[in-house]
Structure 1
Amino acid sequence: MRILYAVQATGNGHITRARAMLPALQQAGISVDFLFSGRPREQLFDMQCFGDFRHYQGFTFKTEAGSVKRWQTLKAAGVTQFFADVRSIDLSGYDLLLNDFEPVTAWAAKRQKLPSLGLAHQYALRYRLPGTRKAFWLKRAIDTFTPLDRCLGVHWQAFDQPILPPLLALNAIPPTPSDDQQPFVLVYLPFEVTDQVVHWLQSMPGSRFMLYADVPDVAYLKNVILRPLSRETFPRDLHQSHGVICNTGFGLCSEALMLGKKILTKPLSGQIEQYSNACILEQMQRATVMQAFDEKLALSWLEQPNVAPVVYPDVAQHLARWLKSGTDLQGTQLVARVWQEVSQRSV
């Protein structure tokens, strides 16, 4: 079996899911090639495990100071290039397109009649989840962005839909001690203005913060350690942290849940996915949500203890074996089996 695994690279959560799936697919004897779009190739980092992957421009959204800028997003869409890429890509030789919200290959597969399967957090939003009740257009928008034969969503709960638990490779991250044993909070707010984040964190001098951002070198700014993005140091610091401050993307929040880290989260304004995630985390009583950089709220959150980890099974292994078997095409039995294992592990 040979598949093309296409990934929306706008957020790191999509790539994290692909990192978790890669060894499981290989162990199942599935040949896999990767394609990424949605971020300039030079901005992708630590991609060696994906080999000689293909890259296309695709689509992404433009943000500024924690908000989606819709007009700038439309201006930068590059529709002409998109349709040229859809027409030019050759999918012959593949048995299946596995698609993580990547539009170029989704439309190309539809055009070339290649069987396709969506696997992404966004596909959970095709259903009426908390925070999406008024977004009647959401399912149609998702299905138009990536027109696929069938879809499996990924979320923290099943919601009685074809939705799987998070796919993460946390067991592969060694909990090695950090260079600095003093307590700190991990901060990752990629859609915010870094200087503004630093100023806010410095207003709480009684705590130490490890802030990851798009910077070239490490900087020590009073009680804030500013670090460049890194797949080597970030997982280590996540393990060692005493809590996580982040936007409300699915990937990092999932990692924090599975490691038992308390979460203070600021959903990206104008982004329905992060708004829904924030609503669900609040309902689960697993995060404190802030709409702006609130010092009083943050100080109260800093006093809270960490929480018990949420235990999920190795979803990637289940999924790879299911793909290899070619049975239960809609995934109904797969979803039931995996969530039953979640229930057993939670006892």
Structure 2
Amino acid sequence: MRFLFIVQGEGRGHMTQAMVISDLLHKHGMEVVAVVIGASGRRTPPDYFLDAFSCPVYRVQSPNFVADKEQKAIKMGATVLENLKKLPRFIRSLQQLDHWVQVHRPDCILNFYDMLGGIYAMCYPFRATYLAIGHQYLMFHPDFTFAKPGGLQKVLFKLNTAITCANASKIIALSLWKPQRAMKNENHLVWPPLIRERVRRAEPSTGDFFLVYIVNSGYAEEIYRLAKNRPQITIEAFWDAQQVPARYLTLPNLTFHRIDDERFVEKLRQCKAYLSTAGFESIAEAMFLGKKTLMVPVKGQYEQRCNACDAEQAGAGRTADRFAAEMLEKLLEEEKNCTASATAFSDWQQSLDAAFLAFLTSIPSPIGKRILVD
């Protein structure tokens, strides 16, 4: 069976999920014929992602968030307006995407939470069998807890999520916790997080430093203040900034690293605790390695508030509105609970292989469905 991936490029987690699924497909004799990543001016796909695929990797303009001047908060109003202004560009992106589908002729198109991918599935419903995967689809589960207050941000989150899985024959939700009840729709599945093999092989230890990952560079100022006010602690931080050296020592106890997959996993394996904006995938990796996490959701991004709420209930750590020393102290008090959570999480992880095999056998056949222009 031939797969084409459409990957949202805004977050590292979706890229990681695509890499893991690619490995699983190859393991079972399936083929990934092309990868299309939704690009924006805010993010550049990392080399480790581009190097993970032997097939062509295409970049296409896709709807994305607009951040404030401090590069911290997401501005929802500006995001909607900016994406509306780029509508002609996105129409061209749909045409590009359709061209690549025509060239590679996949049996299945697997969308990793990219809005353009969902719109494509609505515009071209018979090109292939459509599938969708992402932790956001857990919102369809009856036991999912939405962050409060919700308001318009909750409505937009639900709308965006619905668009990304439009016309999907199977929708796979990734969860930090093992659900006790099934989804209401039999075509909705729940899997444990997709942990990379590199993380699975890592042997955790407890070092004397805190590890930080900030998706928006504006949070670097908070991390700097934290390190300056607490010179007795050591912080190793990873960020997306391209205008500074790959290793940037700002204080004797604070070092910023440009994103490097291998180095990040090594630091995560060794750290005392993990501090991050509330990205799902890295929280899952921290839980797998038994590391406590302090989660500071990106302001204005409702999805991250839901992530933090969900992760806190799963025993991953604590949620805060800023990176502060007092929250670190409270986090360190939870070591016993976090260890117990890591054991339960590891047991939940073991079910992935069986779930994936069942998924492969249940994919609807594309024969008789696909309509291509020769």
Question: TM > 0.5 between the two?
Answer: yes
Structure 2-normalised TM-score? 0.78
Gaps of 5+ in 1: 330-347
Instruction: Report the CA distance shift for 1:262/1:81 in structure 2 as closer, same or farther (over 3 A).
Output: same
Moved more, 83-92 or 17-26: 83-92
- Aligned residue for 1:87, secondary structure, equals helix
Moved more, 23-32 or 161-170: 161-170
CA–CA distance in 2 between the matches of 1:15 and 1:142?
17
Following superposition of structure 1 onto structure 2, how do residues 56-205 of structure 1 map, counting pairs within 5 Å? Answer: 56-64=60-68, 65=70, 66-77=72-83, 78-88=86-96, 89-90=98-99, 91-92=101-102, 93-112=105-124, 113=126, 114-127=128-141, 129-132=144-147, 134=150, 135=154, 138-150=157-169, 151-157=171-177, 158=179, 160=181, 161=183, 162-171=189-198, 174-175=201-202, 183-191=208-216, 192-205=218-231
Q: What does residue 299 of structure 1 align with?
A: 329
Once the two structures are superposed, residues 150-171 of structure 1 have per-residue CA deviations (whole angstroms, 9 ceiling, x without a partner) of: 3111111236323211111145
| Structure 1 position 278 matched with structure 2 position 284 | no
Instruction: Report the CA distance shift for 1:127/1:67 in structure 2 as closer, same or farther (over 3 A).
Output: farther
Q: What does residue 186 of structure 2 align with?
A: none
Once the two structures are superposed, residues 30-77 of structure 1 have per-residue CA deviations (whole angstroms, 9 ceiling, x without a partner) of: 111211104459811122112321111111112234321123323432
Instruction: Report the CA distance shift for 1:296/1:223 in structure 2 as closer, same or farther (over 3 A).
Output: same
Q: What does residue 342 of structure 1 align with?
A: none
CA–CA distance in 1 between the matches of 2:28 and 2:12?
25
- 1:20–1:316 Cα contact (<8 Å) kept: no
- Aligned residue for 2:25, secondary structure, equals helix
Q: What does residue 217 of structure 1 align with?
A: 246
Q: Equivalent pairs: percent with the same residue?
A: 21
Deviation of the 1:111 alpha carbon: 2.5
What RMSD in Å do the two structures reach over aligned CA positions? 2.7
Structure 1-normalised TM-score? 0.84
Q: What does residue 258 of structure 2 align with?
A: 228
- 1:67–1:268 Cα contact (<8 Å) kept: yes
Q: What does residue 53 of structure 2 align with?
A: 50
Deviation of the 1:126 alpha carbon: 3.5
Gaps of 5+ in 2: 184-188, 366-374
- Aligned residue for 1:131, secondary structure, equals coil
Deviation of the 1:313 alpha carbon: 2.9
- Aligned residue for 1:148, secondary structure, equals coil
- Aligned residue for 2:52, secondary structure, equals helix
- Aligned residue for 1:190, secondary structure, equals coil
Query: Of residues 288, 291, 311 in structure 1, which corresponds to 2:318?
Result: 288
Q: What does residue 31 of structure 1 align with?
A: 31
Q: What does residue 9 of structure 2 align with?
A: 9
